[in-house]
Amino acid sequence: MTISVEPLGDGIFARVSGVSFREPPAGPVYDAIIDAIDQYAVLVFPGAAPTEEEHLAFGRAFGELQRTSSSISGKRKRRIRAEFADVSNLDVDGNILSAESRLAHNKQANQLWHSDASFRPTPSKYSFLAGVRLPPAGGETQFVDLRAVYDALPDDLKARCEGKVAVHSLMASRRRVGFEDFNKEERAAFSHAPHPLVRTHPGSGRKCLFLGSHADFIEGEDEAESHDFLVELMEFATQPRFVYEHHWTPGQVVMWDNRCTLHRGRPWDMTVVREMRRVTVDGDGPTVVDGQIVHAI
């Protein structure tokens, strides 16, 4: 089958047909996906419906998979394997989470604009999210291409961003939804990850902002003032003109490039199952070492 790429948004998001998840992509198939993700930043594969093993193998073709922590749930038991982020409203036994549970409260932050795992010293590259069981309404995913945002930034804001390092933390995003219940292990793991505020996307050679709800403040600046500046940048970046909204159908897999995009989930009736799983590929290494930007990709 011939691979086809159909643009769906204004420079962001495309539908890729002719790719099977029955085996990991290689050769011309892999190259076609890389070419498409470099151009559009977000891709949807309709009707992919991978098994868990196929989903993992497809992601591994693009790099090392991240493992997720199980400590937020308060249990060591997992509903699905550690290579998956469980983007669902289900507990470890497969029951719908109580809205008052610690895990449900923590997952509310998925509805904030973010780049996956930017709270890690080595930020993410690609994510692959599969829709398994979906609600009849709501639960869409919205995306922003931060390359287009950077292009539209006024020159004075571009100048203020250049060479700056923002500190990202999982606790910063969770505080924004009122979640403060971190244990000692979590505070040690997710407290401080510095990243350049402006990156150069390697596949396209375009500059982009790198921010999101995990970004807390800018190093070397007054913390409160720099926090306010990050909020200002986020408000600019998430204007409706930059946002593309994806409406899910069962079996789809959506791939996005965390190096140049923001995304967020939208609300749905939490008494209805929304079962999704995601694999995420690590980036190429830390972006800041000993206070110095070592690479901005």
Q: What is the pLDDT of residues 15-47, one digit of tens each?
A: 999 999 999 999 999 999 999 999 999 999 999
Check: pTM over 0.85? Answer yes or no: yes
Is the pLDDT score of 155 beyond 80?
yes
Question: What pLDDT band is residue 177 in, cutting at 50, 70 and 90?
Answer: low
CB 104 within 8 A of CB 274: no
Give me the mean pLDDT over the 67-78 stretch. Answer: 59
Mean pLDDT of the chain: 90
Model pLDDT, residue 187: 61
Over range 65-84, report the average pLDDT: 72
Using CA atoms, how far apart are residues 29 and 247, in angstroms rounded to an integer?
25
Q: Which H/E stretch holds residue 168?
A: strand 165-168
- Contacts of 233-236 spanning 24+ positions with Cβ under 8 A: 233/157, 233/161, 233/209, 234/113, 236/149, 236/153, 236/157
pLDDT of residue 73: 43
Angstrom distance (rounded) from CA 295 to CA 297: 6
Please count the structural domains in the chain.
1
Count, residues in the chain: 297
Interval 183-202 mean pLDDT: 79
**What mean pLDDT do residues 44-54 have?**
97
Query: Mean per-residue pLDDT for 129-144?
Result: 97
165-168 and 275-282: which strand pairing? unpaired
* 248: CATH: 3.60.130.10
Domain of residue 188 covers 4-293
Residue 172 pLDDT: 73
